[in-house]
Chains A and B, each alone.
Chain A
Amino acid sequence: MRDVRGDVVRRQLRADHGVSVENVRSICGYLISAETNSESIAARADDLFVDPIIEHGLTNTAALASDHFVDAPDVVVTIGFKPGVTDNPGKAATDGYLTLFPNDTAAKVATYITYAFYGVPETCVPEWLASTLHNGLIERALVGGKEACASGQWPELSFPTPPPQTFTPPQAVDLEVDDAALMTLSEQGLLALNLTEMKAIRDHFRDQTTQTARAAEGLPINAPTDVELECLAQTWSEHCKHKIFASKIHHVDTETGEDTVIDSLFKTHIMKPTHDMQNDVDWLLSVFHDNSGVIAWDDTWSVCMKAETHNSPSALDPYGGAMTGIVGVNRDILGTGLGARPIANTDVFCFGPPDWSGDLPENLFPPSRVLRGVHAGVRVGGNESGIPTVNGAIVFDDRYIGKPLVYCGTIGIMPSVLPDGRPSHVKTPQADDIVYMVGGRVGYDGIHGATFSSLELTEESPSSAVQIGDPITQKKMIDMILEARDAGLISCITDNGAGGLSSSIGEMAEYTNGCEIDLAAVPLKQAGLSPWEILVSESQERMTVAVQPHDQAAFEALANLHEVEATPVATFTSTGQFHVKYGEETVALLPIEFLHEGVPQLELESEWTRPNPTPFTPPSQADHSDLLLRMLARPNIASKETWVRQYDHEVIAQTAVKPFVGVARDGPGDAGLIAPIHGDPHGLVISCGIAPRYSDLDAGAMAAASIDEAVRNAVCVGLDVDKMAGLDNFCWPDPIESAKTPDGRFKLAQLVRANRELERVCRAYRLPCVSGKDSMKNDYGQGEGKISIPPTLLFSLFGDQPDVRFTATSDFKQPGDLIYLVGSSKDELGASELAFMLTEAGEAPGIGGQVPLLPHPEENLRTYRQLSRAIQQGAVRTAHDCSEGGVAVAVAEMCIGGRLGANIDVDGTGDADLWSRLWGESLGRFVVAVAPDQETNFLKTMAGHPTTVLGRVTEDAVFHVTDGHDAVIHLETDSMVHAWQATLAMGGASDE
Chain B
Amino acid sequence: MSEEVRVAVLYGFGINCDHETKAVFDMVGASADRVHVNELVSQQTSLEDYDILAVPGGFSFGDHLGSGRLLGNRLRFTLRDSLKAFADAKKPIIGICNGFQVLVKTGLLPGPDTHEPDFVQRASLTLNDSGRYEDRWVTLEFDSESPCIWTKGITRMECPVRHGEGKFVMPHEADVAALESSHRVAVRYVDPVTPIGAHHTQVLPYPVSPNGSMHNIAGVCDSTGLIFGLMPHPEAVYAAWLHPNHTSGHAPAGQGDALEGWEGEGLQIFRNAVEHVRAHK
Contact = CB atoms under 8 A, between A and B. Distances in A.
B136 interface: yes
A877 B245 CA distance: 11
Contact of B135 (A476, A650, A806, A990): A650
Given A2-B129, A100-B77, A89 B247 contact: no
Contact of A7 (B16, B38, B131): B131
B23 A678 contact: yes
B186 interface: no
A52 interface: yes
Interface in A853-895: 873-874, 877-878
B133 A47 contact: no
Contacts of A662: 245
Interface stretch (B67-75, B83-91, B142-150, B194-202): B67-75
B244 to A, nearest CB: 5
A96 B170 contact: no
Contact of A665 (B16, B136, B241): B136
Contact of A653 (B13, B207, B238, B245): B238
Contacts of B13: 472, 475-476, 563
Kindly list the 3 A-B residue pairs having the minimum CB-CB distance in the complex, ordered from nearest.
A386-B16, A874-B251, A92-B64
Contacts of B129: 2, 4, 990
A743 interface: no
Interface string B96-127: 00000000010000000000000001111011
A908 B262 CA distance: 41
A650 B242 contact: yes
Contacts of A665: 136-137, 244-245
Contacts of B19: 652, 678
9 contacts: A48-B69, A99-B73, A472-B61, A475-B59, A653-B23, A681-B239, A681-B262, A806-B252, A989-B207
Given A678-B23, A805-B262, A989-B131, A93 B64 contact: yes
Given A646-B134, A813-B247, A877-B251, A385 B73 contact: no
Contacts of B212: 2
A990 B105 CA distance: 27
B131 A1 contact: no
Interface in A463-484: 471-472, 475-476, 479
B130 interface: yes
B250 A931 contact: yes
Interface in A660-684: 660-663, 665, 675, 678-681
B58 interface: yes
Contact of A96 (B65, B236, B250, B252): B65
A647 B133 CA distance: 8
A658 interface: yes
B22 to A, nearest CB: 9
Contacts of B69: 48, 51, 96
Contact of A53 (B169, B207, B244): B169
Contacts of B61: 92, 95-96, 472
A669 B153 CA distance: 34
Interface in A21-67: 47-49, 51-54
Nearest to A717: B247
Interface string A764-807: 00000000000000000000000000000000000000011111
A92 B124 contact: no
Given A88-B62, A653-B235, A47 B38 contact: no
A223 B242 CA distance: 62
Interface in A1-29: 1-2, 4-5, 7-8, 11
A89 B65 contact: yes
A403 interface: no
A648 B162 contact: yes
A102 to B, nearest CB: 9
A480 B130 CA distance: 35
Chain B contact patch, size range: 35 or more
Contacts, number: 216
B59 A471 contact: yes
A652 to B, nearest CB: 6
A969 interface: no
B134 A51 contact: no
Contacts of B58: 386
A778 B104 CA distance: 48
A809 interface: yes
A650 B160 contact: yes
Interface of B: 11-17, 19-20, 23-24, 27, 36, 38-39, 42, 57-59, 61-66, 69-70, 73-74, 77-78, 105, 121-124, 126-137, 160, 162, 169-171, 206-207, 212, 233, 235-236, 238-239, 241-242, 244-252, 255, 258-259, 262
A655 B241 CA distance: 8
Contacts of A95: 61, 70
B207 to A, nearest CB: 8
Contacts of B236: 650-651, 653
A423 B190 CA distance: 50
Contacts of B24: 653, 678
Given A53-B170, A96-B65, A877-B250, A679 B244 contact: no
B70 A99 contact: yes
A392 to B, nearest CB: 14
B114 to A, nearest CB: 20
Nearest to B20: A653
A649 interface: yes
A805 B206 CA distance: 31
A651 B249 CA distance: 26
A383 B241 CA distance: 22
A806 B61 CA distance: 39
Contacts of A603: none
Nearest to A872: B251
A780 B73 CA distance: 48
A379 interface: yes
A990 B130 contact: yes
A562 B15 CA distance: 12
A88 B131 contact: no
B72 to A, nearest CB: 10
B73 A100 contact: yes
B216 to A, nearest CB: 16
B16 to A, nearest CB: 2
B169 A679 contact: no
Interface in A374-400: 379, 383-386
Interface in A876-935: 877-878, 931
B214 to A, nearest CB: 11
Contacts of A384: 14, 59, 62-63
Given A54-B124, A807-B247, 8 more contacts: A92-B70, A561-B36, A647-B135, A650-B236, A661-B244, A661-B247, A679-B239, A805-B241
A4 B129 CA distance: 6
A645 interface: yes
Contacts of B127: 4-5
